[in-house]
Amino acid sequence: MKYGNPLGNGIGAEMQAYLDKTLLTNISENTIFDRLATMQKPLPLKNSQEIRFDKWIRMADLYLTGNVNQKFTGNDITKGEETLQNLANDEYKNFVLSEGSSGSSKSRMKLIKSEANVFSIGDWMPYTEEMEMFHNRWTVGETSRQMGEMAGLIIDGFYRDLYVFGAGHATDITTANGLSLPEFTKACRTTYLALKLSGAQPVASIMTSSPNYGTVPVKAKYLGYIHTAAAEALRDNPDFVPIEKYKTGGEMEGEVGIIGEIRVIESAQAPLEYESAGKYKGTMIIVGKDHTAHVPVRGKGSTEFVFQPIGSAGSSDPLKRVGTAGWKSWLGAKVLYPERLAKITFKFEL
């Protein structure tokens, strides 16, 4: 009697499609941060490993100086970081045309070019003739599922770190157990103001958790992602409103409450550092709409389950005893609008 799931010399197109779907489904179900990158770029052409982006510096920002709103945002206009305009008194007078005159030109246009490298990631494992024949708990389908789960964590960590290092607004609360203090509430208020005056729109949709490329609507707010342990400590903040007190439908997966104008989402993948017994340092990542462009993991050709059956290695496996199973994907992303991203670092105890 033969055990396991011997696949012979190959898996066929139908089985390959099933394994790809299993891999991608488990990647999608184990990612949160990649779903916040809603601007899509295709894989680059064969002559480049870069994805390139063009971004206009707004004409109004180039000419109209002395914008008091920048005092709240700290954005750098020369880098194309946008701030809603607050027009100076009597600015219109600079545009009045004298009789018979066309005046002087004030309008300018400037384009900023940026790029990000596209690179491949992946992993593989060997499987033996004995595993295929005698170990009925091992299947290539289960291998694809577990690899998808691990790949999802790796991919999501890439996006998490991208947002942390690419955030245009940053507040560092150094006070011990500051998460539960009014200082954290104030940081959330100033962050909300900086995002709003930067022109960041509240998030009204995110990428779907399915393997298909698409978006799902959510209740429009800025979203704050925080570690699960920190979310529990945040309940000690008197300004935090738990979801149980306002739940009316349309809440997001992992949503635990709201503080000010920021919906708080918990995730075990959110940034967290261990400092000493019972003491931690965390970071809340706060996002507005449309800040990052990327090559999506979802979609044909971006992610693949790779199966090499026993006997496919040629002379390196002369007795046809070993095969391999693995996964590979492509990553490439760029924060185009850092002014639509923010982070608050804090300390807490549990």
- At 122-141, the pLDDT tens digits run 999 998 888 877 777 778 88
Q: Is 331 left (phi over 0), alpha (psi -120 to 50) or beta?
A: beta
Q: Which residues contact 303 (CB under 8 A, 6 or more apart)?
A: 20, 23, 24, 27, 151, 297, 327, 328, 329, 330
Phi, psi of 101 (to 5 degrees): -115, 145
Q: What is the pTM of this model?
A: 0.86
Q: What is the pLDDT of residues 165-197, one digit of tens each?
A: 999 999 999 999 899 999 999 999 999 999 999
Q: Quick one: tokens of 127?
A: 């499987």
The amino acid that residue 134 corresponds to is F
As a whole number of angstroms, the distance between CA 101 and CA 188 comes to 50
**pLDDT value at 109 more than 60:** yes
**Residue 97 amino acid letter:** L
What is the spatial distance between Cα 268 and Cα 189, in angstroms, rounded to a whole number? 25
Q: How confident is the model at residue 1 (pLDDT cuts 50, 70, 90)?
A: very low
Q: What is the pLDDT of residue 4?
A: 40
State the CB neighbour count (10 A cutoff) for residue 14.
8
pLDDT, tens digit (0-9, with 9 covering 90-100), for 223-266: 999 999 999 999 999 999 999 887 766 778 899 999 999 999 99
> What six digits make up the tokens of 29?
């179900």
How would you class 237 by CB atoms within 10 Å of its CB: exposed for 0-12, middle for 13-18, buried for 19 or more? buried
Task: List helix spans (H) across 64-103.
Answer: 70-73
Residue 301: how many CB atoms within 10 A of its CB? 8
What distance in Å separates the CA atoms of residue 323 and residue 92, rounded to the nearest whole number? 74
pLDDT at 277 over 80: yes
What's the Cα-to-Cα distance from 261 to each of 52, 284, 344, rounded to whole Å?
34, 14, 15
The answer to whether 280 touches 273, Cβ cutoff 8 Å, is: yes
Q: Which of 154, 92, 169, 102 is nearest to 123 (CA)?
A: 154
